[in-house]
């Protein structure tokens, strides 16, 4: 049986506290028009994990037109309140989003199995604590979900930190343990979604499609406009269309196409 068409809207780095109201409202309206199967929210919902910022993020999420798989980013941890960061790092997240950021969360729909993992960490072995990590327990949780899914289902991992960087983002670093993750997810997953870099791009790594979205509605731009991705999968074809803000709407589009053989993806040649 041919698997169902799947349409995923990917948004990231909303950074409420540094949000641009017009952009956020237009984004919400366009997501309603797009009628996605699922919305992947790839972290950094807030700027400094403040209550008011989480309340604004919660209100935005409540207005989304489809089930959302939401993962935290490094900005959703208390940044400067060092005591809170170490003793109760996820208390604000739990209070406002009512989900446990540890472990993994899953969403399934016809033709789709998606797993969200929290790659943000309260500290790290290097000076830049904004870098994240995926751990063995999270990989095991992803595998457990994917290994029981129907063979043709699109298998999606939703995270904050990137599994693929371009030249412009090299200094930010890949998610920690990315090599191990890619080895274990090869031919097991199809699509890895991330944010954090505030740049939109996609590509293939080790037979997996990686799609990164930029900052959806904040003024924390890194050389390109606000953006979101619409990802459409139809059997063994998948497209990633980036919608960039043009000053009034998300109207400028860039599309990349991919094809799979088994669960091995390549850039589509036609």
Compute the least distance from the CB of residue 186 to Fe ion, in Å.
25
Compute the least distance from the CB of residue 73 to Fe ion, in Å.
4
17 contributes a contact to Fe ion by CB under 5 A: no
13 contributes a contact to Fe ion by CB under 5 A: yes
Nearer to Fe ion, 111 or 132 (CB): 132
Nearer to Fe ion, 10 or 74 (CB): 74
Q: Return the HEC string of the chain.
A: CCCCCEEEEEECCCCECCECHHHHHHHHHHHHHHCCCEEEECCCCECCCCHHHHHHHHHHHHCCCCCEEECCCHHHCCCCCHHHHHHCCCHHHHHHHCCCCCCEEEEEECCEEEEEECCCCCCCCCCCCCCCECCHHHHHHHHHHHHCCCCCCEEEEECCCCCCCCHHHHHHCCCECHHHHHHHHCCCCCEEEECCCCCCEEEEECCEEEEECCCCCECCCCCCCCEEEEEEEECCEEEEEEEEECCCCEEEEEEEEEEEECCEEEECCC
Compute the least distance from the CB of residue 197 to Fe ion, in Å.
8
Compute the least distance from the CB of residue 118 to Fe ion, in Å.
12
Give the x/- contact pattern for Fe ion in 207-236, rule: CB under 5 A: ------------------------------
CB under 5 A: which stretch of 31-39, 95-103, 138-146, 189-197 binds Fe ion?
A: 189-197
Q: Which of 44, 76, 153, 232 binds Fe ion (CB under 5 A)?
A: 44
Nearer to Fe ion, 183 or 222 (CB): 222
How many C-beta neighbours within 10 Å does residue 115 have?
A: 24
Residues 97-156 that bind Fe ion (CB under 5 A): none
Q: Which of 18, 48, 131, 196 binds Fe ion (CB under 5 A)?
A: 196
Compute the least distance from the CB of residue 211 to Fe ion, in Å.
16
Residues 60-89 that bind Fe ion (CB under 5 A): 73-74
Cα distance between residue 220 and residue 13, in whole Å: 9
Compute the least distance from the CB of residue 47 to Fe ion, in Å.
9
Nearer to Fe ion, 78 or 207 (CB): 78
Provide the binding-site residues for Fe ion, judged by CB under 5 A.
13, 44, 73-74, 196
């Amino acid at each position: 049986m041919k698997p169902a068409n799947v349409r995923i809207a990917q948004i990231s780095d909303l950074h409420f506290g540094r949000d641009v109201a017009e952009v956020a409202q237009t984004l919400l309206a366009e997501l309603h028009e797009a009628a996605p199967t699922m919305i992947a929210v790839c972290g950094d919902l807030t700027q400094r994990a403040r209550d008011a910022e989480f309340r604004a993020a919660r209100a935005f999420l409540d207005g989304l037109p489809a089930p959302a798989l939401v993962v935290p980013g490094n900005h959703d941890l208390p940044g400067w309140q060092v005591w809170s960061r170490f003793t109760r790092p996820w208390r604000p997240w739990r209070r406002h989003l009512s989900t446990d950021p540890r472990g993994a969360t899953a969403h399934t729909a016809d033709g789709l199995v998606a797993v969200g993992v929290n790659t943000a960490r309260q500290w790290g072995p290097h000076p830049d604590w904004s870098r994240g990590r995926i751990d063995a327990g999270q990989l095991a949780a992803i595998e457990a979900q994917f290994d029981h899914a129907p063979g043709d289902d699109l298998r999606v991992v939703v995270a904050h930190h990137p599994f693929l960087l371009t030249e412009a983002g090299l200094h930010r670093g890949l998610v920690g343990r990315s090599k191990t993750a890619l080895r274990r997810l090869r031919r097991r997953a199809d699509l890895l979604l991330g944010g954090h870099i505030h740049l939109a791009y996609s590509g293939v790594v080790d037979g997996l499609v990686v799609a990164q979205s930029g900052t959806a509605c904040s003024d924390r731009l890194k050389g390109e406009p606000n953006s979101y991705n619409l990802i459409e999968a139809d059997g063994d074809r998948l497209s990633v269309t980036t919608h960039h803000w043009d000053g009034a709407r998300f109207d400028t589009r860039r599309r990349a196409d991919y094809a799979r053989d088994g669960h091995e993806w390549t850039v589509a040649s036609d």
